[in-house]
């Protein structure tokens, strides 16, 4: 059984971007949305999987996380690091290792999830009475 992806290209263009230019190329959006969905599933204890319809807040969250993951990947150079500055002589460069750390990426994703889903019961980890 295929994993349910929480946002599609149509929602990305018409519901999330609302006329802005897309950050993610259309042909790769399904991949990034799948990765974003995986992150949301972890934070929501897979509660969205049981729903007939995916809430708009979840779709928005999926799009923003997909953009974050895409942007992190697209700024890496061949070594997998972010070039922070480059000297005029063409021989020196400074790399920003902090922004690409797994811890920093997960922190950013957590902030996005809280931004969109904090007012829902999807992240509740207690027991319903």
**What is the domain partition of the chain in residue ranges?**
9-117
Neighbours of 93 (CB within 10 A): 13
Task: Give the contacts of 95 (CB within 8 A, at least 6 positions apart).
Answer: 79, 81, 82, 83, 84
Pick the closest to residue 26 from 13, 17, 38 (CA basis): 13
Binned at pLDDT 50, 70 and 90, residue 116 comes out as: very high
The reported pLDDT for the residue numbered 84 is 59
Using one digit for the tens of pLDDT, what is the confidence trace for 10-68?
999 999 999 999 999 999 999 999 999 999 999 999 999 999 999 999 999 999 999 99
Q: Above 70 in pLDDT, residue 80?
A: no
Structure tokens at 120: 């829902």
The reported pLDDT for the residue numbered 100 is 64
Q: Which residues pair with 82 in a beta bridge?
A: 76, 96
Q: Above 60 in pLDDT, residue 83?
A: no
């Amino acid at each position: 059984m295929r994993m349910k992806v929480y946002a599609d290209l149509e929602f990305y263009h018409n519901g999330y971007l609302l006329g802005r230019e897309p950050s993610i190329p259309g042909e790769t959006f399904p991949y990034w949305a799948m990765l974003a969905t995986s992150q949301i599933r972890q934070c929501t204890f897979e509660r969205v999987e049981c729903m007939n319809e995916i809430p708009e807040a979840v779709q928005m969250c999926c799009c923003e996380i997909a953009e974050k993951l895409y942007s992190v990947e697209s700024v890496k150079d061949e070594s997998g690091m972010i070039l922070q500055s480059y000297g005029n002589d063409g021989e020196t460069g400074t790399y920003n290792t902090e922004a690409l750390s797994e811890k920093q990426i997960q922190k950013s994703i957590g902030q996005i999830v809280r931004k969109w889903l904090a007012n829902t019961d999807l992240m509740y980890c207690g027991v319903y009475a």
